[in-house]
A and B are shown apart, each in its own frame.
Chain A
């Protein structure tokens, strides 16, 4: 579980987040969506502890939060196993070897454990990127646009992997511009615009909020933003 209470972030005169609150339950998948400049990445960075909030609080179950940046944050000159081992040691995981073996099994990359990461496809690199975020087996995993640079086949693999983690009880919070992906893989969505929380609920509830006659979730989202003056 992770909860944000009245989180505000100011950069000088600019207010990037204005009193945002939400809660994501264990095993829940929460998508943070919104137009460019809405404050999605800022909120995720605050949840992940990268950036301190100006005011407000963030509470995470067990205090441990896994974080997966948008771009693959791994060393291309190291092998898959070496990357996993390095971060397992830096995370001070009790049994780094077991954690690496588990991550290799989870990602389905055990056969390529010795390959330099730079030789892997973008999709496989992203799976390693996500696996590193899960090395310490955190109850909450934050992902910044996890499938933005992937082709549909790799995107499907990554989501299958994340869906399994959610089924296992991990709370998944992710940002995305792909509204179809949000509708398909999120249990609930949090809509932000200009740093303000406009909506929190299921994709179906958002569609209902705009009359339920939108042809798809993307159309409903655009209609919702327009109705709210964005």
Chain B
């Protein structure tokens, strides 16, 4: 096997284009996928018109003055605003595609907000206008969801402020105090003190008289109001935010997205290099007509397969380790777990190598083997990356079952657990990979017997 390995390495050394392609292509694909997964989407460009006259964007809630522009600033954390002066300019930008959407705050927005928040209440609620460019449905959806979620956040923040004010008014009604109304300070007795006053008045009227019965009725109402208004703070808080969210990860790890992207990038590189190399180098033996000469007593078919698995696994293992080292400059990886992720890399590479020789054994030419390896690798990776919940449960089960037959899923799993030190045991994926090495090795051996000549 040693001399066959040396021979294959000599052939690879003399095929620089092939080596560059085998190394550069998967790294490029892996990095692109990695960055696509780890990098957030770019901020969409949104035209922004604020028609509210300068200095009139303030409103008062509970005696505190707020500036509406602070809510707009929250939006600008998620979009790239193109500030324009008129509605027409904004619409032109959207129509030309320069902006994916436009957010227009009409001139009366602040007035309406002030009116809504006044003690007298009523009036029309303020309304902002959002215009989308529907040319690209994906972009439109992205802008829609960004603007809607930010406006929801602003609404919620405002709602909390208003609820707080409402609760303070109710507190004054309950306990008494003073409020500012129409630039005048008004003292409010409060229900609790009203009940005490009524109690004092009640004793002045003899029992059984009409006045005493009426005072008893008023006192019962006051007591009922006191008891129920005591709960008003909690009720108002529920109205402001009826549902709160508590986030818990039940399955899988709490791997950050960028660290997961490293595992994906490395697994994809490992797969492409290993499967293509193993399939191509085995097919080369047939293409060069050396296969018959080799298996005529010089080496056994099993040894030949093992040599191709070893060659492709060693080459891709080295590449994978280099890739991890390179990516670790940008993303934190668990160096303390190095022995485990190196083992995961090696077993993953062996799994892909075994799959590659099974493909190479079935193909008679390098080109056919490479094409087959490429065509098979892409859907394998795609299927393994489909998250649960994005497809129907039955279909997801089928996808899981198919993914389990190929080394990509367990390799990704093992790399994710070890590169990111998730605390989960890596024994399962490693045993899975060992089983796949044996399984695909047997498939390759049978294919070589069936198609080999």
Contact = CB atoms under 8 A, between A and B. Distances in A.
A and B: interacting chains: yes
Interface of A: 48-50, 67, 69, 71-78, 82, 86-87, 89-91, 116, 132
B292 interface: yes
Given A75-B11, A77-B14, A77-B15, A69 B289 contact: yes
10 contacts: A49-B296, A67-B296, A73-B288, A73-B292, A77-B14, A86-B3, A90-B3, A90-B294, A90-B299, A132-B293
Contact of B289 (A72, A89, A90): A72
A183 to B, nearest CB: 28
Contacts of B3: 86, 89-90
Nearest to B6: A86
B121 interface: no
Taking chain B's interface residues, is the majority helix, strand, or loop, or is none over half, making it mixed? helix
Given A50-B296, A90-B298, A73 B7 contact: no
A230 B309 CA distance: 49
Interface of B: 3-4, 6-7, 10-11, 14-15, 288-299
Contacts of A74: 288, 290
A1 B299 CA distance: 25
Contact of A73 (B6, B10, B15, B289): B289
Contacts of A50: 292, 295-296
Nearest to B13: A77
List the 10 closest pairs (A to B, CB-CB), nearest first.
Answer: A73-B289, A90-B298, A73-B293, A71-B289, A77-B11, A77-B14, A89-B3, A73-B290, A86-B7, A50-B296
Contacts of A87: 293, 298
B137 to A, nearest CB: 51
Contact of A77 (B6, B10, B299): B10
Contacts of B7: 75, 78, 82, 86
A212 B288 CA distance: 44
A184 B4 CA distance: 39
Contacts of A77: 10-11, 14-15
B154 to A, nearest CB: 67
B290 A67 contact: no
A78 B297 CA distance: 22
A67 B293 contact: yes
Nearest to B297: A49
Nearest to A71: B289
Given A76-B288, A90-B299, A69 B293 contact: yes
B299 A75 contact: no
A169 B298 CA distance: 24
A87 B11 CA distance: 15
A132 B291 CA distance: 14
Nearest to B8: A75
A86 to B, nearest CB: 5
Contacts of B297: 49
Given A75-B7, A78-B14, A132-B293, 6 more contacts: A50-B296, A72-B289, A73-B291, A75-B288, A77-B10, A78-B11
A69 B292 contact: yes
A181 to B, nearest CB: 22
A86 B285 CA distance: 14
B334 to A, nearest CB: 41
Contacts of A132: 293
B10 A82 contact: yes
B14 A48 contact: no
B303 to A, nearest CB: 11
Contacts of A90: 3-4, 294, 298-299
A6 B290 CA distance: 30
A227 to B, nearest CB: 35
Contacts of A48: 296
A146 to B, nearest CB: 14
A87 to B, nearest CB: 8
A78 B299 CA distance: 19
A37 to B, nearest CB: 17
A61 B11 CA distance: 36
Nearest to A86: B7
